[in-house]
Structure 1
Amino acid sequence: MALKGTLDGETRRAALLDLTDERGRLQLAEAAELWNVHPMTIRRDFELLESLGRVRRVRGGIVPVQVDAFSTRQGRNPRAKERIAAKIVPLLPDGGAIGLDSSTTAFALADSLPPSSRFTMVTNGLSAFEALSRRPEVRGYLTGGEREEQNLSLVGALTLSAFSAFHFDCSIISALGLHGESGTSESTLAQAAVKDAMARASSSVVLAVDASKLQSRARVRALTLDRIDVLVTELDPGDARLDPYRSVVPRIL
Structure 2
Amino acid sequence: MATLLGEERRARLLEILARDGALRLDPVAEQLGVSAMTVRRDLDDLEAEGLARRVRGGAVAPVLPRPFGERMSTRSASKSLIARKALDLVPATGAVAFDASSTSGVLLGEITARDLVVASNSVQNAATARRRPGVRSILIGGELEERTDSFVGAVACRAAASLGYERFFASASALSSSGTSEVSLEEAQVKDVFAERSEQTILLLDASKLGRTSVAQGLDWARIDVLVTDLDPADERLDPYRDLTELR
Give the TM bin, normalised by the shorter chain. 0.7 to 0.9
Q: 1:57 to 1:171 in 2, by over 3 A?
A: farther
Give the distance between the partners of 1:162 and 1:168, measured in 2 at CA. 13
Deviation, structure 1 residue 93? 2.2
TM-score (norm 2): 0.76
Alignment of 1:6-25 (within 5 A): 24=17
Match of 2:102 among 104, 108, 111: 104
- What SS is found at the alignment partner of 1:204? strand
TM-score (norm 1): 0.75
> Paired residue for 1:223?
219
Give the distance between the partners of 2:208 and 2:97, measured in 1 at CA. 23
**Gapped regions of structure 2 (runs ≥ 5):** 1-12, 26-36, 38-46
Alignment of 1:1-253 (within 5 A): 24=17, 62-114=60-112, 116-179=113-176, 181-249=177-245, 251-253=246-248
Letter in 2 for 1:137: G
- What SS is found at the alignment partner of 2:164? coil
Letter in 2 for 1:134: R
Deviation, structure 1 residue 243? 0.7
Q: 1:213 to 1:56 in 2, by over 3 A?
A: farther
Q: 1:153 to 1:85 in 2, by over 3 A?
A: same
Letter in 2 for 1:225: W
Q: 1:177 to 1:162 in 2, by over 3 A?
A: same
Q: Give yes or no for contact 1:99–1:198 (8 Å, CA) kept in 2.
A: yes
**Gapped regions of structure 1 (runs ≥ 5):** 1-19, 29-33, 35-48
Deviation, structure 1 residue 182? 1.8
Letter in 1 for 2:214: A
Equivalenced residues, count = 210
Give the CA RMSD over aligned residues.
2.7
Deviation, structure 1 residue 58? 7.1
Deviation, structure 1 residue 189? 0.5
Q: Give yes or no for contact 2:64–2:183 (8 Å, CA) kept in 1.
A: no
Give the distance between the partners of 2:131 and 2:161, measured in 1 at CA. 25
Deviation, structure 1 residue 69? 2.8
Give the distance between the partners of 2:87 and 2:23, measured in 1 at CA. 37
- Matched residues, percent identical? 39
Q: 1:22 to 1:76 in 2, by over 3 A?
A: closer
Give the distance between the partners of 2:77 and 2:52, measured in 1 at CA. 26
Give the distance between the partners of 1:139 and 1:84, measured in 2 at CA. 23
- Give the structure with the higher percent strand: 2
Give the distance between the partners of 1:177 and 1:56, measured in 2 at CA. 14
Deviation, structure 1 residue 57? 8.4
Give the distance between the partners of 2:54 and 2:118, measured in 1 at CA. 33
> Paired residue for 2:41?
none
Deviation, structure 1 residue 134? 0.9
